[in-house]
Amino acid sequence: MSNIDQMVNQLRAVAAQASVTPAPQEAGGQDFAAMLKSAVDEVNHAQLDARQLSRQFQLGNPDVNLQDVVLSLQKASLSFQTMVQVRNKLVSAYQEIMNMQV
Question: Which residues of the chain register pLDDT less than 50?
Answer: 21
Q: How far apart are the first and last CA of the chain?
A: 57
Average pLDDT along the chain = 85
Q: Where are the alpha helices (DSSP H) in the chain?
A: 2-20, 32-58, 66-98
pLDDT, tens digit (0-9, with 9 covering 90-100), for 39-60? 999 999 999 999 999 999 999 9
**In terms of residue numbers, what domain contains 77?**
29-102
Q: What's the confidence (pLDDT) of residue 102? A: 79
In a domain, 81, yes or no: yes
- Give the whole-angstrom CA distance, residue 56 versus residue 73: 13
> Domain count of the chain?
1
In a domain, 74, yes or no: yes
Q: What value, to the nearest 5°, has the Cα angle with vertex 63 and ends 61 and 64?
A: 75
Q: What's the confidence (pLDDT) of residue 85? A: 95
In a domain, 19, yes or no: no
pTM beyond 0.85: the answer is: no
In a domain, 1, yes or no: no
Q: What's the confidence (pLDDT) of residue 24? A: 56
